[in-house]
Structure 1
Amino acid sequence: MVSKKYTLLAASLCLLASYGFAQVKTGGSYDPSDSSLVPSKRMPQHTEFLNGTYNFPAKPRNQWELGVKYGLAHISGDIPSVFFTAPNFGVHIRKSFGYVFSARLEYVYGEPRGLNWKQTGVNAQSAWATVGYAPGQLIYNNYKTRVQDLSLQGVITLNNIRFHKAKTGMNFYLLAGIGGMIYDARHNAANDATGTIYTAEFGSISGNVYENRKDTRKALKDALDDSYETRAENDKDVLPTLFDDTFRPSFTLGGGIAFKLSNKWNLALEDRWTFVKDDLLDGQRWAEQGDLTRDYDAFHFLSLGLNYNLGKKSVEPLYWLNPLDYAYSEIRNPRLMRLPKPVLPDSDGDGITDQFDQEQTPAGAPVNSHGVALDTDGDGVPDYKDKELVTPTYCQPVDADGVGKCPCPDSTCFDKYMVRQDDCATALGALPSVSFKSGSNNLDADAKAVLATVAARLRNSPQCKVVVVGYCSSSKKEQQLSWDHVNKVITHLVESEGISSDRFVFNYGQEGGDCNTVDLRGATTGEDGPATVAPPHPNLRKK
């Protein structure tokens, strides 16, 4: 009967826990870069990790678990246990020291009961003899024991380390621990109301000759009260006591399964055994039974518990987290990983990587964004071979050097009809200026449109260079802002318009102009300068 009730209870608890498990949504873990989760003693490691000098993130501060439980208790001893809804409960506090191991301090209180449906004879040394039963008299041995156990346990969890899921909503664990137990075993040997022993009651049940356990136990339940007034045999004279109860060191083994209800709550079904080197937990020595069935008794507790996670600025207890989560998330979407700067091959050195380069051109040859040599006038001769970069259409076709044959309008034509290729100021004309908002280094839509016009003129005069002039230098801030403006204009023309960087002369910090304006003009004959200049005050540089 007891076995069936235990089975039914366990099945009901599993069903309830499964319902709770079905409601929880599992997801990712914590953010390893969150400094608020790292205790001060591990902050140096956290700093090294964020700086990329240490591969492993610091262990975060994690929550404590506080749990309460209620369940069934019995003693595995010399007298069969009976099912009884006594106040069998436990409380614990648990702290994780890693993703696998945690420690738990637990207190358990239980009042297991037992009843032998078979008659046994009274031993002259037993407690039954001290209340009036004659040695050898047949009785129905019984007990109720108050058990209190306090133990420190190590708990092992393994199934949170998962390779195909971020978290688990179900947690299997094993536990083992040591502690101390006090107990007080008592017999129901006399009627508490009358003070008489159960000689007549035991005799009437024996006279009816019940042949099965169920009928015998029912008859005993009807005949006996619930007093348990007689203290059972114990070894208090030779063993230490605490609160007038017998004290014994204890060793606990057990296991359980927890079902996650939320990030704060979980439900746990647990089974644990507590062993003591004592045969009197049920008040009965094995030797009195006349056999050698057992030396020591054990306390068993099957429970259903509700656990709550305590702590602020802390992650869940680590046994709920997957230690592989950080590594997998970085592989999938790198955020904290230090990635090497990509080095892409450019065989011909034209600024277009081989992956996208459609033509291998000689060194210095101007190319477009696909690495193809420019042919500004479309005469079929690339610019790096063309001796006449801009040949009007009516002067084509051209020879191998790109020089066309233009018809002279009359016999008076002379050089002034042709623009000198080295007169860039004339070839490009007056170039527009670029304006920035005060203190800003951003190009608005109007500025980009102006630069698109400049780029079109530069493509039509590929032999020309442009001087980019920024103004103001009375302070470090103005000097750096002037440099930022000039650099911004050149960078936009190179990266967005495809103009070669060597066609610009970098000129900043000049006087006589507006601080928020950049002027552009064609370089005069022989005028040259660097295309790039180091920033004067990099710490003031605007991105």
Structure 2
Amino acid sequence: MSNRKLLFLSCFLLFAFFSNAQSTSSTDDWGWSWRDSAVVPVQSMEQYNRFIANDFPYPPKPRNMWELGFGAGYSYIVGDVNSKAGFGGTVTLRKAIDHTFSIRTGLTGKWNWGSPNAYGTAIGQVDYKNKTFSLDVDLLTSLNSSSIYRGNPKTNVYVITGYSLNAALVQYKRPAGLGAQPGNYSYYYGYTDAGQNPNSQNGIIATFGGAKINNSHAYRLFHGANLGMGIAFKINNRVNFAIEQKYTFTVPGYDYLDAWSGGNGSGKNSDDYYSFTTLRLNFNIGNAAKRTQPLWWLNKYNFIYSELNRPQHMKIPPPVLPDADGDGVTDQFDLEPNTPKGAPVDTHGRAKDTDGDGVPDYRDKEVLTPLSCFPVNNDGVGTCPEPACCKELRDMIKNLPTATAPVAQCTIGDLPSIQFGSRAVLTKEAQRMLADVASRIKANPNCRVKVIGYGAASKAAQQLSWDRVNAVINYLVEKQGIAESRLLFVYQQDGDSKSVDLQGTMEEGASYVPAPFPNLKSKN
């Protein structure tokens, strides 16, 4: 029995290791959006608001779902008497503490049988049966968190340690020579302390359900320590399938789970324990709009990697490169870092000399001196006399009024109002109108657009106003490719609560603001 147990455990551990090593699939969806305040617990809203405002570096831990599990499988007792295949069933409830640790509690029932081999019969062992019910509280340690080079895992390998409170009914088949029961039976199932196998109370908390002797409804209550390992395979975001091996050791040791004490004739006490192999089907329960998947299904480094790959939250200051002479060419590339202010330069920061006469343009009074008029004086003027017509033309140009640069304006014109029903859901007509608005925004690169929501009469109205503005902005950004920086988030204005207005502007403003009352967030 021991060899079979060790072989099974070894195969299970190898299977779990290689399954985990192969499960490196990733996804672009890292589990939840850091902007979604609906999954943030109320007690963490202060941290969330500080994080959104870039006043605190860590996002809060989101609410996550519970896992309800059902399992059934093979059970046997590792003891002195040869065990036969038994059966067990369990129902559990599991909750994540963080991405590594979770607590699981459950109820388990196990039905086991045993029959001695020839040697066991020779030393007095008899058939037995054992019925045990357990209340378990286990700490599950997920090994997924040790891998930081993948996305959300498809498998979850975990270690089980915990406590169980067990109630066991142990009976043995009494030989005919010890007396028959009514009905002329030559043997019957009686208690382990019925005389054939005196019962030791070591490890027993209490006996309940009947008299200690010759009563088929008396249970022994004792402590147990759980140890095991499991691997779960994700089917979808709600369901997973698992295989689990778990051992329950009696604490302190109890040697009558198989109705026999003293080993296989050695006289040495060897305490019995349970082995339970289960196939499990687990379900994530909870509102997906307000809770993420259980944390052991999420890579805890997803937020960091997402920000490194495509920053959306971090504040990146504009780069400031030194340009000592202010000519538009930074010092690291400037081959002439001390040109006078306003002097025209080439791409390397050198003062331009258009006619190549050796006098830079900013000092050259005759920028285009013909080669035939060389050499030139210190002002860049050649030896050829200036034609009268050119002098008159130069004077006319000098006296022209200075032109001013045109001021950029937004000429996008009137934009439509988007109408909503009772919820913050865009209709097909609204989506068509927004597609037209997007094309106009793209055709007017100087413009930003205010997205204005109305209805500030109550907390619910303010939240619904926020939901509708957010729906319009998300559609323009995610479906139409409009840069988020070109959209200004405005809500809680007085007006028609079912309308969201679009208004061209040159102003700057926030493209996202936190939801005012996330607990009242619209359920689309």
> What is the TM-score when the length of structure 1 is the normalising length?
0.61
Deviates more, 1:401-410 or 1:39-48: 401-410
Match of 2:206 among 232, 236, 239: 239
Where do residues 371-410 of structure 1 align in structure 2 (5 Å cutoff)?
371-374=349-352, 381-388=359-366, 398-404=376-382, 407=385
Contact 1:350 1:361 in 2 (8 A): no
Q: Does residue 1:114 correspond to 2:92, yes or no? A: no
SS of 1:144's equivalent in the other structure is: strand
Contact 1:161 1:323 in 2 (8 A): no
Runs of at least 5 residues in structure 1 that lack an aligned partner in the other structure: 122-136, 200-227, 448-538
- The alpha carbon displacement at 1:364 in A equals 0.9
Q: Does residue 1:64 correspond to 2:97, yes or no? A: no
- The 1:293–1:390 alpha-carbon spacing in structure 2 relative to 1, beyond 3 Å, is same
Aligned to 2:279: 304
Contact 1:160 1:167 in 2 (8 A): no
Q: Distance in 2 between matches of 1:446 and 1:301?
A: 67
Contact 1:190 1:196 in 2 (8 A): no
Deviates more, 1:168-177 or 1:372-381: 372-381
- The 1:402–1:142 alpha-carbon spacing in structure 2 relative to 1, beyond 3 Å, is same
Match of 1:344 among 321, 334, 355: 321
Match of 2:267 among 292, 307, 311: 292
Deviates more, 1:398-407 or 1:173-182: 398-407
Q: Distance in 2 between matches of 1:17 and 1:373?
A: 68
Contact 1:279 1:285 in 2 (8 A): no
Q: Distance in 2 between matches of 1:349 and 1:432?
A: 23
Where do residues 125-524 of structure 1 align in structure 2 (5 Å cutoff)?
141-189=126-174, 195-198=183-186, 229-233=189-193, 239-241=206-208, 244-276=218-250, 277=252, 279=254, 281-282=256-257, 284-287=259-262, 291-311=266-286, 312=288, 313-368=290-345, 370=347, 371-374=349-352, 381-388=359-366, 398-404=376-382, 407=385, 416=392, 418-419=394-395, 422-425=398-401, 437=411
Contact 1:21 1:169 in 2 (8 A): no
Contact 1:279 1:286 in 2 (8 A): no
SS of 1:360's equivalent in the other structure is: coil
Contact 1:99 1:323 in 2 (8 A): yes
Contact 1:65 1:94 in 2 (8 A): yes
Q: Distance in 2 between matches of 1:23 and 1:169?
A: 6
Aligned to 2:97: 97
RMSD: 4.7
Contact 2:68 2:283 in 1 (8 A): yes
- The 1:177–1:167 alpha-carbon spacing in structure 2 relative to 1, beyond 3 Å, is same
Q: Distance in 2 between matches of 1:342 and 1:420?
A: 44
Opposite residue 75 of structure 1, the aligned amino acid is I
Opposite residue 419 of structure 1, the aligned amino acid is D
- The 1:106–1:316 alpha-carbon spacing in structure 2 relative to 1, beyond 3 Å, is same
Contact 1:172 1:256 in 2 (8 A): yes
Contact 2:67 2:93 in 1 (8 A): yes
Contact 1:147 1:184 in 2 (8 A): yes
Q: Distance in 1 between matches of 2:305 and 2:444?
A: 42
Q: Distance in 1 between matches of 2:75 and 2:445?
A: 83
Q: Distance in 2 between matches of 1:157 and 1:433?
A: 61
Runs of at least 5 residues in structure 2 that lack an aligned partner in the other structure: 194-198, 210-216, 415-439, 447-504, 510-524
- The alpha carbon displacement at 1:188 in A equals 3.7
- The alpha carbon displacement at 1:72 in A equals 1.4
What are the Cα deviations for residues 134-193 of structure 1, in whole angstroms up to 9, with x where unaligned? Answer: xxx986501111111111111122343224323443333222212311111123448999
Contact 2:24 2:153 in 1 (8 A): no
Contact 2:24 2:150 in 1 (8 A): no
SS of 1:239's equivalent in the other structure is: strand
- The alpha carbon displacement at 1:423 in A equals 1.5
Residue correspondences, number: 403
- The 1:163–1:273 alpha-carbon spacing in structure 2 relative to 1, beyond 3 Å, is same
SS of 2:330's equivalent in the other structure is: coil
SS of 1:263's equivalent in the other structure is: coil
- The 1:292–1:56 alpha-carbon spacing in structure 2 relative to 1, beyond 3 Å, is farther
Opposite residue 276 of structure 2, the aligned amino acid is F
> What is the TM-score when the length of structure 2 is the normalising length?
0.63
Opposite residue 34 of structure 1, the aligned amino acid is D
Q: Distance in 1 between matches of 2:333 and 2:313?
A: 30
Opposite residue 104 of structure 2, the aligned amino acid is R
- The alpha carbon displacement at 1:259 in A equals 3.0
Q: Does residue 1:541 correspond to 2:501, yes or no? A: no
- The 1:381–1:36 alpha-carbon spacing in structure 2 relative to 1, beyond 3 Å, is farther
